[in-house]
Amino acid sequence: MSLQAFTKEYMAQHAAYFEEVSRFIFHHPETRFEEYESAKYLADQCEAHGFIVERGVGGIETAFTATYGEGHPVIGFLGEFDALPELSQEPGSTEEKRWDRHIGHGCGHNLLGTGAFAAACAAKAYMEAHDLPGTVKFFGCPGEEGGSGKTFMVREGVFDGTDLALTWHPSPSNSIMSVSTLANIQVFYRFKGVPSHAANSPHLGRSALDAVELMNSGVQYLREHMPDQARIHYAITNTGGFAPNVVQANAEVLYLIRDVTTERVMALFERVNKVAQGAALMTETDVTFEIDKACSNYIPNRALERILYDSLTEIGIEPPTEDEKRYAQGIFESMSEAEQKDYLGVMKGFGYVGDGSEFAGKYVSDSISPYEIPTEILTASTDVSDVSWIMPTAQLSTSTSALGTPLHTWQMTSQGISSNAHKGMLRAGASMALTALKIFENTDLLAPIRDEFTAFSQENPYTCPIPEDVKPSPLSK
């Protein structure tokens, strides 16, 4: 049996099981670094499949590895499973219906983790049956959403010894995710002032909240004078209390600073620091900062992407059913006119190439985008990037949602365990497994992958953007 036939058949035979795994994670949504149930469940599944599981790797409770086989090549599959606050939603609905729990899988990571796990299982099954040398490694990667979990794992050496990494992301598009992404750093700024009675002795008070407001104003002016692709966002995480008649002595604002490289992020970070110092000077308060997390920009490996693209094409697409088409239409129609108009914009972020003409009259993709080396950059960030700096990495996307569905929306959560989503998940799993098996069977394929990676890394040595003393921080911190 060909590798292609084997992987397709493996996924078909085990579809019900993997769908169950995805459903479990969907129904136990947990936010970054607190994915206790999801991580335990997924690690238990790996163990039940005969992988050697190591839990709590890199000093992160919810990170784990699952290993099968011996020697090189060591091929890693990266699986995420964290969810998002405020994005609970009844699955399968075409209107916004929140569940009582507030956390939900608005980025499809229940599918992501399960698809990567399915790929590892399929690769293992074939290697076992054919006595193939090499190692399959599934990485249970927590805290992708705002946590840069993989960047911490890279810093702690969790990926050391792995030859290459494969992963994917749910989206409306079947394509290779070849676009680079923005590096970022997330920093808390804490202002400390002097409390006083706001009416009785205002001259004695020094307001930390004023300092936060002035810092935000200063950064608004800075925005006009930054590079085009740079982005700065903020959230006020402590306003200093609820009493207007007390001068707020403590206030905190969290900044997320992005640009095309870590070097440029650090330069922009320095400028934001100056604004913070200026705000402190104006208000006679003190300011300190604490780095929360950071990640690098993504470095695609074209040689590995080409194999992954061929594999996706060989696995192909089962046409959507009438029910799936109807549901996709309902979801599409629930989006705003602006979102509908920009549906290709969302898909281009996932590597879609084209003018959308093949989607005329359709609401869900039933085709594979051509693979072209992109000229643009995706103005978002991912912690897969740090893995891509230390080993050849490739990512694909498969259509698990209606055309144009933006990530981090109730529509994304709603489609999280739909039959179309599960088909896409298994398509991604099969494509990654097939890619890995081609390399296990013919290790000559590794040479161009490695050459490309070495050429890049010799010119661009990696430095982890997260300082040694920074620890992963859960949302509830």
User: How many Cα atoms sit within 13 Å of 362 on the Cβ side?
Assistant: 21
# chain residues binding Zn ion, by CB under 5 A: 1
| Complex with Zn ion: residue 74 or 378, whichever CB lies closer | 378
Binding mask 94-133 for Zn ion (x = CB under 5 A): -------------x--------------------------
Contact between 78 and Zn ion by CB under 5 A: the answer reads no
* Contact criterion met (CB below 8 Å) for 108 and 23: no
| Complex with Zn ion: residue 112 or 303, whichever CB lies closer | 112
Contact between 428 and Zn ion by CB under 5 A: the answer reads no
Smallest gap from Cβ 382 to Zn ion, in A, equals 7
| Complex with Zn ion: residue 168 or 269, whichever CB lies closer | 168
Smallest gap from Cβ 444 to Zn ion, in A, equals 34
Contact between 177 and Zn ion by CB under 5 A: the answer reads no
Smallest gap from Cβ 338 to Zn ion, in A, equals 22
Contact between 421 and Zn ion by CB under 5 A: the answer reads no
In the bound complex, which residue of the shown chain has the CB atom lying closest to Zn ion?
Answer: 107
| Complex with Zn ion: residue 107 or 120, whichever CB lies closer | 107
Contact between 141 and Zn ion by CB under 5 A: the answer reads no
Smallest gap from Cβ 115 to Zn ion, in A, equals 12
Contact between 3 and Zn ion by CB under 5 A: the answer reads no
Smallest gap from Cβ 145 to Zn ion, in A, equals 7
| Complex with Zn ion: residue 384 or 436, whichever CB lies closer | 384
| Complex with Zn ion: residue 107 or 260, whichever CB lies closer | 107
Interface residues with Zn ion (CB under 5 A) are: 107
